[in-house]
Structure formats: C-alpha cells, structure tokens
Amino acid sequence: MRFNTLKNFIVGLSGGILGVFLFLLIVFSYPDNKLGAYILSQFNINDSQSIENQKLAPTILPSLAPDFWESLSDNASLSSVAVQVFKENRLIKSGTGIILSSDGLIIIPADLTYSGGIYQILYEDKIMKGFVVLFDMQKNLAIIKIMSSEPNLNVSDLNVNFEYQSGQDVLITGKLSDFSKPVTVSQRGIVSYISGNRIVLDTFANTLLLGAKVLNSRGELIGMLYIRGGKSYVISSKDIDNFFKEYLKQTPQ
C-alpha cells in the first residue's frame, strides 16, 4: 500500500514538472504572445539594462600626488644653472652652479674651475658667458659673474642654520647641459657622517652633479655637492654664505 502511494506521488510530481515546462515552452516560443509578455512584465526586466547592453562604469582611482622628491627638485631647479668650462674650443669640465644674486653671481666648487678657462652658463633658454671673480681652493669655493647687463635670475635661499646629523635624507639636484639646453638631474642620498667641517654623503658619486644643490626633506638649500676620491661631500650653506659675504665686502657697491 505504501509502495503504491509513493509511486503515484512520484509519477504525479514528474507529470506536473513536465507540464509546467511544456507550458512555458509554448508561451515563450512566440514573441507576440500576450500572456508571455504579461509574465515578463511581472519580473520588471528592462531590456535597455540587460547585461549585454550595460556598460561597465570605470572605477575611479584616487589621483596619485606628484612624487615628493621630484617636486622639491623642480622647485630648486629654478635657481640652478648648468656650467661648462672650455679651453681652446674643447669642453674641459662641466657641472652645475647655484644662483646667489639676481644680477648674475653663481657659486660653484673651486674643483669646477680651470686656469684660463672660458665659462659658459646655461639658464632657461639663455647661454651666457661668465668669469671667476673670487676663488679659494682651500675652501673649494668660487664665484662666477655672468657677463650680462640684466640677467634677472631667480635667487637661491640658503639655510645657514641647518644642523647635519647622520641618517638624514637629502636630495642632490642641479642642471646639466644637454645639447645646449639645461636639464634638471637629481638623485637621493643620506648623510653618512660628519667629521669636523667634512660632511660625507652616502650616495652615488656622480661627477656630473659637481656643484649641485643639496636639499633637506623640507626642500631647503643646506649645501653644495663636491666629489673627491670617489666620495660625495657637502659644502654647507653656512660656508657658502660666509664666502659670498666675503666677496660683497671686497666689491664696491
């Protein structure tokens, strides 16, 4: 008895499922069928929003802020120049210089000078001549005066009160000549150690950046780069400032 009841239930269920399937097949086989249209309308399906017609909205990503160190380099480049030294129509030395006055006084390491050399200064789209007005090999500093009536240059602001400590991050940045056009070049570094007046950096000793600015993490000018014996050193902004004041005292106003 139980077996027959179960059998009848299974047969009835199968028949019901088959009947529903056939009914739906007939209804949706004809696009003009009103009943089919009515059933579809109850599901609130909008063809214009079907998966095939939907366009994926682009994911809005947060805009990346400009690289911090790159921003510092761009700002510092406004008061930097590329320096080339020629002798008998040959390029002898090249490096970068720091603008100290709007009327064309440039500070460079004395290592960048050359006896009897002709100095060419590249600033923005200008190429100007210059000559050495003050030189001290012991301090490794020299000042070049640009031969121009109205150079109107951007001036560097020296941080003369900065205290160097081992482990400080710095940025070395300057201008180099690229086919008679100044381009900005920079690299990162760390203060390795301080011994007396010698400030040693842990960075690649790039001789092309001789005379480049050394900036702290706030973008302040704290010194100038020079290289000796394959090591990178810094002439502090305080020493640069004292040397510049020495020149001003010697020069009639």
Task: Please check whether residue 54 lies inside any domain of the structure.
Answer: no
Q: What is the pLDDT of residue 43?
A: 42
Place of tokens 């939907």: 54
pLDDT score for 159: 95
CA distance 155 to 170: 20
- The confidence score (pLDDT) of residue 165 equals 94
The pLDDT score that the predictor gives to residue 194 is 95
In a domain, 3, yes or no: no
3-state secondary structure of 185: strand
- Per-residue model confidence (pLDDT) at position 70: 83
- Whole-angstrom Cα distance, residue 234 to residue 236? 6
- What letter would DSSP give residue 158? B
Which CATH number characterizes residue 141's domain? 2.40.10.120
Note the Cα 202 to chain centre separation in Å: 20
C-alpha–C-alpha distance, residues 233 and 213, integer Å = 12
Distance CA 94, CA 208 (A): 7
Is there a domain that residue 143 lies in?
Answer: yes
- What's the half-sphere exposure (Cβ side, CA atoms, 13 Å) at 22? 6
pTM of the model as a whole? 0.71
Q: What pLDDT does residue 16 have?
A: 58
179 belongs to a structural domain: yes
The reply to whether 56 falls in a domain is no
Domain count, the chain: 1
Can you tell me the distance from the alpha carbon of 52 to that of 18, in angstroms, rounded to the nearest whole number?
Answer: 31
In whole angstroms, give the CA distance from residue 93 to residue 119. 10
In contact, 19 and 11? CB cutoff 8 Å: no
22 assigned to some structural domain = no
Give the pairing of strands 169-177 and 182-195. Answer: antiparallel
Separation between Cα atoms, residue 162 and residue 6, nearest integer Å: 95
Give me the phi and psi of 215, to 5 degrees please.
-110, 150
**Helix or strand holding residue 247 (H, E):** helix 237-250
In a domain, 30, yes or no: no
Ranges of residues in the chain with a pLDDT under 50 are 1-3, 6, 25-28, 30-66
- Helix H or strand E encompassing 141: strand 141-146
Extended strands (E) in 141-230 = 141-146, 169-177, 182-195, 198-202, 213-215, 221-228
Q: Would you state the pLDDT for residue 12?
A: 56
The predicted-structure confidence for 122-152, as pLDDT tens digits, reads as follows: 998 899 999 999 999 999 999 999 997 667 8
User: What are the residues facing 235 on neighbouring strands?
Assistant: 224
Whole-number pLDDT of residue 51? 34
Domain enclosing residue 154, as ranges:
69-250
| Token code pair at residue 187 | 């690299």
| pLDDT computed for residue 13 by the predictor | 53
Residue 47 lies in a domain: no
Half-sphere exposure at residue 187, Cβ-oriented, CA atoms within 13 angstroms:
15
CA distance 37 to 192: 80
What pLDDT, on the 0 to 100 scale, is given for residue 64? 34
Helix (H) or strand (E) holding 121: strand 118-123
- 95 Cβ neighbours under 8 A, 6+ residues apart: 82, 83, 108, 109, 112, 174, 176, 207, 208, 209, 210, 211, 212
